[in-house]
């Protein structure tokens, strides 16, 4: 049986702390244009998060991250170290592409639209879970998950549209965490201006999604397009910004209560990275 990576990472991070690289103070830039500037901090992540695929900020300020294939969840401290990790039981191998904290529950998104519901575990614990079929499986390949507390819904970001009418749009599907079914309406589709499509090289292929804890607006990032889009709950596109040159493969995003934005990059053959931006409000 494959063990959760907490046991290995705890030893690794104690003996060899992750590389910490502090840049010069970031410019004071509007959100999300700040993501095109110089980050406040960058960290190299331990081996267990080389393929980091999701980030989520908890209500008490702690940060959760997960890997790409094994449904293992870790808590990361402000210096990029793994505080603890726990895993799903029974073991589930899938293409995990997002994480969200909804009150006392944790949800993981699988790229085919299924949701995994579980709870926070103790260090090294294997936690039980429930699999939910959302009904969106034939609509998109998904990559990015966020929680909307106003109507207690989960937001699933479309990466690759399988439905013709969704192509060339930024689309988010909505699923109720209380009733375990699609919300009504079940999606938000934003047509992207031609100038924006030309600038980002075609349609927007999302890789991460987060709700701003202060403004309630949504931030979607794209690793392929190297872009960030800010939009409202009513489906209005507010702003588009490029991602900075510091990113190799940004797959995860979280926004902390103080406005800092955290991006996670898959490392490929090298280490994954955590990048923090001090975005002004």
Does some domain include residue 111? Answer: yes
In the three-class reduction of DSSP (H, G, I as helix; E, B as strand; rest coil), residue 68 is classed as: coil
Classify residue 209: in a domain, yes or no.
yes
Within-domain flag for 7: no
Q: Is residue 1 part of a domain?
A: no
The Cα 168–Cα 166 span in angstroms is: 6
User: 255 with 268: CB under 8 angstroms?
Assistant: no
What is the predicted pLDDT for the residue at 33? 93
Supply the pLDDT for residue 22. Answer: 37
Residue 13 maps to a domain: no
Predicted confidence at residue 263, as pLDDT, reads 97
Return the CATH number at 171: 2.120.10.30
By C-alpha distance, which of 201, 145, 196, 131 is closest to 174?
Answer: 145
Q: What is the pLDDT of residue 16?
A: 32
Question: Which residue blocks in the chain are alpha helix, DSSP H?
Answer: 6-15, 194-200
For residue 241, the model assigns a pLDDT of 95
Distance, in Å, from the CA atom of 50 to the CA atom of 118, rounded to the nearest integer, reads 23
pLDDT of residue 207: 97
- Taking the C-alpha atoms of 224, 201, 261 and 152 in order, what is their torsion angle to the nearest 10 degrees? -80
pLDDT of residue 29: 59
How far, in Å, CA of 175 to CA of 185, rounded? 10
> How far apart (Å, rounded) are the C-alpha atoms in residues 157 and 171?
6
Cβ-based neighbour number of residue 25 at 10 Å: 9
Give domain status of residue 3, yes or no: no
Q: Which domain holds residue 25?
A: 19-277
Domain count, the chain: 1
Residue 228: phi and psi, rounded to 5, are: -130, 135
pLDDT of residue 79: 74
The predicted structure's pLDDT at residue 280: 62
pLDDT digit string (tens) for the chain, length 281 residues:
444 444 333 323 323 333 443 333 334 458 899 999 999 999 999 888 889 999 999 989 899 999 888 889 999 987 778 899 999 999 999 999 999 999 999 999 999 999 999 999 999 999 999 999 999 999 999 999 999 999 999 999 999 999 999 988 999 999 999 999 999 999 999 999 999 999 998 889 999 999 999 999 999 999 999 999 999 999 999 999 999 999 999 999 999 988 899 999 999 888 899 999 998 64
Residue 11 lies in a domain: no
Residue 238 lies in a domain: yes
- 88 with 127: CB under 8 angstroms? yes
Q: What is the pLDDT of residue 80?
A: 76
């Amino acid at each position: 049986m494959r063990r959760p990576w907490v046991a290995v990472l705890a030893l690794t991070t104690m003996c060899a702390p992750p590389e910490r690289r502090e840049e010069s103070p970031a410019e004071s830039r509007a959100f999300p244009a700040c993501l095109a500037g110089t980050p406040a901090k960058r960290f190299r992540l331990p081996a267990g998060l080389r393929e980091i695929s999701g980030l989520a900020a908890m209500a008490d300020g702690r940060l959760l991250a997960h890997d790409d294939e094994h449904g293992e969840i870790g808590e990361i401290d402000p210096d990029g170290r793994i505080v603890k990790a726990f895993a799903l039981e029974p073991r589930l191998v899938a293409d995990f592409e997002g994480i969200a904290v909804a009150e006392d529950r944790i949800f993981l998104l699988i790229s085919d639209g299924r949701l995994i519901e579980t709870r926070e575990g103790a260090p090294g614990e294997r936690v039980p879970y429930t699999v939910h079929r959302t009904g969106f499986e034939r609509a998109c390949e998904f990559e990015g998950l966020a929680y909307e507390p106003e109507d207690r819904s989960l937001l699933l970001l479309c990466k690759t549209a399988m439905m013709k009418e969704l192509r060339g749009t930024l689309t988010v599907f909505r699923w109720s965490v209380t009733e375990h079914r699609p919300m009504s309406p079940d999606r938000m589709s934003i047509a992207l201006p031609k100038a924006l499509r030309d600038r980002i090289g075609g349609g927007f292929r999302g890789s991460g999604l987060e709700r701003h804890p202060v403004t309630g607006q949504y931030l979607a990032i794209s690793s392929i397009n190297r872009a960030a889009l800010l939009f409202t709950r009513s489906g209005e596109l507010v702003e588009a910004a490029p991602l900075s040159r510091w990113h190799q493969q940004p797959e995860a995003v979280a926004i902390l209560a103080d406005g800092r934005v955290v991006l996670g990059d898959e490392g490929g053959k090298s280490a994954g990275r955590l990048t923090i931006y001090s975005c002004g409000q």
